[in-house]
Amino acid sequence: MNGSRVVVTGVGMVTPLGLTVSETWANLLAGKSGAAPITKFDPSRLQVRFACEVKGFDPLQYMDRKESRRYDLFLQLALAASHQAVTNAGLEGKFPNPDRTGVVIGSGIGGMMTFEEQCLAYLEKGPDRVSPFFVPMFIPDIAAGIVSIRYGLKGPNFCTVSACASSAHAIGEGYHLIKAGKADCMLVGGAEAAITGLAIAGFQNMKALSTRNEAPTEASRPFDKGRDGFVLGDGSTSMVLESLEHATKRGATILGEVAGYGMSGDAHHMTAPAPDGEGAQRAMRECLADGNIAPSSVGYVNAHGTSTPLGDVAETTAVKQVFGDHASKLIFASTKSMTGHLLGAAGALEFAISMLVATTGKVPPTINQTDPDPDCDLNSVPNTAIERTVDVALSNSFGFGGHNVSLAVRRFRS
């Protein structure tokens, strides 16, 4: 690798807490939950009838009506977040070198709504009623492809698919490509729109989801003794990454610096974490080593923290093993308590949140902390946001199949 510093110059978000970065950030600091009864379809046959939907999204703000009919919601969200990020970076219509600008957008599932609708059309009405756009609407990589077409970006272009670590891998791989000199600029992120009857049925039947139908806003409660599973969420986050040289040359405003990337595999179980979060430990240690970061310099860890009984304990144990005595001084909080779990889009959202923590000194809470689990005894910023100077933040993402990613972000200093 050529050792180039990699900086963030643009961010865009469409989340259950807002249609922009500023709206999402304000609601995070306010401790607002994005969970509510499902409105996208009739959930009456399901055991779980609530989720963290994106509310009030109008795709026609970002594409014409013809495109909106051909694009699955996950792609619509990816285009919206990417438009915001590109505009925020001051690059709309003027990428300096499109041949050296690429796109990596992760998605755990892709066009789940399209998949479900077209399966029903095939089974109920026959093969002739399956849309000719079914395959390009459904495949997870289509977000990276369409975003690159929209902006004429001809550099490295692909999709990372690693369950709930997908968009964290996307950021990390974009970072690696720039450091290796393979690109000057990368548009990276994640998108997911898996709130469908079929997806919820699958997750509920494996006992992964909270069943608090009567109190949706209280359902996602990482580290609380009463947690009973995660809350499914939709959304997208995109970011513009650039080499420091490239960003400086064009006079870009630098929002933060990608400081490290670590990844590992559990090689343990299809869905359960390795004992003591052993794989998560290795990902965090590799991230710190990659960025030459002393554990004592980390002030905030955005936990994967999904609100599952096993996962929260394993991650807490892993953080204690990696940080030792410094773990008690860390903030170890989960914004999934408010956003829900965006699956493949979670990593990008939570990395962006970690960057905002480092740059603003404001830390969103972990809400719904009423009965702390003694096995999850680190400082989760219970219920109310705080202010804290943070120089370096980590964001953890772990996926089914044992995929682990840890990313570090640093407040930028020239």
Exposed / middle / buried, residue 305 (Cβ in 10 Å: 0-12, 13-18, 19+): buried
Number of Cβ within 10 Å of residue 176's Cβ equals 18
Token pair for residue 299? Answer: 């002030």
Asked if 376 is an active-site residue, the reply is: no
- Count how many Cα atoms sit within 13 Å of the Cα of residue 355 in the half-sphere of its side chain: 27
CB 105 within 8 A of CB 190: yes
Catalytic option among 176, 341, 376, 403: 341
Q: Which long-range contacts (CB under 8 A, 24 or more apart) does 244-247 make?
A: 244/4, 244/5, 244/6, 244/7, 245/4, 245/184, 246/96, 246/184, 246/185, 247/7, 247/9
Residue identified by tokens 């902390």 is 369
Asked if 164 is an active-site residue, the reply is: yes
Catalytic option among 83, 169, 304, 403: 304
According to DSSP, the β-strands at 331-333 and 298-302 are parallel
Catalytic option among 164, 185, 287, 376: 164
Q: Helices (DSSP H) in 181-328: which residue ranges?
A: 197-205, 244-249, 278-290, 309-323
Nearest-angstrom CA–CA distance, 269 and 277:
12
Nearest-angstrom CA–CA distance, 233 and 242:
29
Asked if 268 is an active-site residue, the reply is: no
Nearest-angstrom CA–CA distance, 69 and 80:
15
Amino acid at 232: L
Query: Considering only CA atoms, which of 357, 368, 365, 362 is closest in space to residue 392?
Result: 357
Active site residues: 164, 304, 341
